[in-house]
Structure 1
Amino acid sequence: MDYSYNNCANRAQGQYFEEIIARSLEYYLEKGWASIEKTPEPMKTIKNNGDGTFQAVFTKKAQPDYKGVLSGGQAIIFEAKYTEKDRIYQNVVTKEQETYLERYASLNARCFIMVCLQGSGFYRVPWTVWKGMKEAFGHKYMTRINLEHYKVPRKSIVHLLDGLELFDCS
């Protein structure tokens, strides 16, 4: 198995998932229902290659991928995870991300993990369910069957906020 190929393919699929999320977030912003942004990765440039590219290193561990606010003022934070496998493992969320999600959840923010399984299913798993995965499902992963209750519709966009109480402040 060529690890570099798999790593590139996974990165490309992850970027595709982020593009899908970005289109969804633009939709909610245009409707005035939410303003949610991608959290920038903390990195430092170590070498300019002189051709418009550079080499960089991460300066600290990653925070959850998205943070923002729903209309009405409630904070929202979520991590996005893509996998080509038939299940998503609990440990794909780092300890640093867990800490942030716990902190926000303790302040009553909407916290969840947005999952894309094999490019075809999109799921919004509440943080409380994610962290209690072992107790809820008997193992520290979720299959498509376990995820089914958390599926979000995909029409022209992935309606990742459908089912959350949103307030129209216009």
Structure 2
Amino acid sequence: MRGCMYYKERGFADIDKTPEPFRVIKKGTRGIFTGQFTKSKAQPDFKGTMRGGKTIVFEVKSTQEDNIKQSVLSKKQSATLESYYNLGAIAFVLIAIQDEFFTVPWDLWRDMKEYFGRKYVKANDLERYHVKYSLRVCFLDKVFLIKVKE
């Protein structure tokens, strides 16, 4: 993700994509193989550390619909984010609804029914958490008060 590289190059955060577990089904020639993704161990999509030592963890979900359901996260993914959140990490769900991006704090995502009266959100529900896309998803710019060049 370009956003992670941007923040690392500038010393704001070091965030890595969690590799998806898979197994090799058939080995071919010249390093080509057929593989299959295995059941997720519920690790967040991205984990890292922000300047100052704070842990950051987040899931990334997207939809082309006009809303995104809370159920797009599995129970294991939710439990893992909850665990990190309870330990003091910055935990959130980075979502794309159509072509708009939002950094939704974990506690808001978790308690969606209480906040919105339903278990899905629309882009207009999340305007406060909207993040720009400018050659990258600017998911931490508000945290570090970075001005995005258009």
TM-score (norm 2): 0.89
1:85-141 CA deviation, whole Å, 9 max, x = no partner? 1001000011111111011001110000000111x1010000000001001001000
Stretches of structure 2 lacking an aligned partner (at least 5 in a row): 146-150
* Counterpart pick for 1:157 among 124, 132, 136: 136
| Greater relative contact order (Cα < 8 A, sep 6+) | 1
| Structure 1 residue 61 displacement after superposition | 3.9
Q: State the SS of the aligned residue for 1:64.
A: coil
1:11-35 CA deviation, whole Å, 9 max, x = no partner? xxxxxxxxxxx11111100000000
Q: Which amino acid aligns with 1:108?
A: G
Q: Distance in 2 between matches of 1:39 and 1:96?
A: 15
Larger deviation, residues 146-155 vs 51-60: 51-60
Q: State the SS of the aligned residue for 2:143.
A: coil
Q: Distance in 2 between matches of 1:24 and 1:68?
A: 13
| Structure 1 residue 164 displacement after superposition | 1.8
How many residue pairs were aligned? 144
Partner of 1:138: 117
Partner of 1:81: 61
Q: Structure 1 or 2: larger helix share? A: 1
- Asked if structure 2 preserves the Cα contact closer than 8 Å seen for 1:83 and 1:117, the reply is yes
Q: Which amino acid aligns with 2:44?
A: P
Moved segments of 4+, more than 6 Å: none
Query: Sequence identity of aligned pairs in percent?
Result: 42
| Structure 1 residue 162 displacement after superposition | 1.7
TM-score (norm 1): 0.79
Matched, 1:127 2:95: no
Stretches of structure 1 lacking an aligned partner (at least 5 in a row): 1-21
Matched, 1:28 2:10: no
Partner of 1:16: none
| Structure 1 residue 49 displacement after superposition | 4.1
Q: Which amino acid aligns with 1:107?
A: L
1:18-68 CA deviation, whole Å, 9 max, x = no partner? xxxx11111100000000000011222122244613122404444210000
